[in-house]
Amino acid sequence: MTQRFLDPPLPDVAAQWEHAFELLDAQPGQAVLDVGCDRGDALCLLLAGQPLLRCAVGLDSSSGRLSAAHALAERLATASRPLLVQGDGRRLPFADGAFDRVFCADTLEWIQPPLAGLREIRRVLAPEGQALLVHSDFDSQVFAGPDPALSRTIVHAFNDAGPAPYIARELPWLARQAGFSRVEPRVYTLVSESYEPGGYPHAVVALMRDWLTRTARVPAKDLERWEAGLRAAARQGRFFYAINRVLCLCRP
């Protein structure tokens, strides 16, 4: 899941986040932390629905992404604004037990080792708090098109290009290794039959194409043929897409 879904809007991803926030169950007066907040889309969506949080903090290692988060919050003009902090997920700059709720989406694979990030999430979580870990299982992506073998090749190449390709499937085990006593794994499946701009399938194909082109993992002609096949499937009314997100609700 890219976390950039409010500007431009991706309603299917926003619906997924609404589901995640129902699980997180942040309450008025609580402190919430987003580890790996990227451009701040998720925090802004959370604050739009829950403006009475005591604080909503976003942490990211990139000053550029945090600048974009500041700009997004200004454009959206939510009643409450997130506090944005630059920092390392392996050493969170917060006191023990500082947050009632912590969430972390599609970030742990970039924290090496991921277990260090999870132990820090547990450390800053209040004794009665809960954390929500979310990771896209990109290897589970399903595309309907005229060449299923080519789709499989591209899906696997994109998935395997990450630093921890199967971390979504390891989240429950990693959370227990980090010391969480209660770990409840769930799966959210994003399903779409649309390949129009403004939906996640169109956005993720662009992401995959750019990443695979930069890393030269798939020949450009194969990517062009694949995208042409998806567009043809959409014109014929046979396009279908699905991806699994693993969500783990964790308590100390």
Query: Helix, strand, coil % (nearest 5) of the chain?
Result: 40, 25, 30
Check residue 147 and give its pLDDT: 92
* Rounded Cα–Cα distance for residues 3 and 36 (Å): 10
Q: What token pair was written down for 56?
A: 């909503």
Q: What token pair was written down for 29?
A: 């007066």
* Rounded Cα–Cα distance for residues 134 and 249 (Å): 9
166 in helix, strand or coil? coil
pLDDT digits (tens), the chain, 252 positions: 557 899 889 999 999 999 999 999 999 999 999 999 999 999 999 999 999 999 999 999 999 999 999 999 999 877 788 999 999 999 999 999 999 999 999 999 999 999 999 999 999 999 999 999 999 999 999 999 889 999 999 999 999 998 999 999 999 999 999 999 999 999 999 999 999 999 999 999 999 999 999 999 999 999 999 999 999 999 999 999 999 999 999 999
- What phi and psi values does residue 77 have, to the nearest 5 degrees? 50, 50
Global pTM value: 0.95
Spell out the domains of the chain, with CATH numbers in brackets.
11-251 (3.40.50.150)
Q: What token pair was written down for 241?
A: 């897409």
Identify residue 161 by its one-letter amino acid code: A
CB distance 82 to 29 below 8 Å: no
**How open is the CA angle 6-131-31, to the nearest 5 degrees?**
75
Check residue 145 and give its pLDDT: 85
CB distance 46 to 54 below 8 Å: no
Check residue 2 and give its pLDDT: 57
Q: How many CB atoms lie within 10 A of CB 73?
A: 20
Core vs surface per residue 107-139: b (16+ CB within 10 A) or e: bbbebeebbbbbbbbbbbbbeebbbbbbbbbbb
Q: What token pair was written down for 112?
A: 């090496």
Site of tokens 């947050």: 99
For the chain, what is the radius of gyration of the CA atoms?
18
Check residue 179 and give its pLDDT: 97
Check residue 21 and give its pLDDT: 97
Q: How many CB atoms lie within 10 A of CB 187?
A: 11
Q: What token pair was written down for 247?
A: 């969500």
Check residue 71 and give its pLDDT: 93
* Rounded Cα–Cα distance for residues 199 and 5 (Å): 9
Helix (H) or strand (E) holding 15: helix 11-24
Check residue 3 and give its pLDDT: 73
* Rounded Cα–Cα distance for residues 235 and 57 (Å): 43
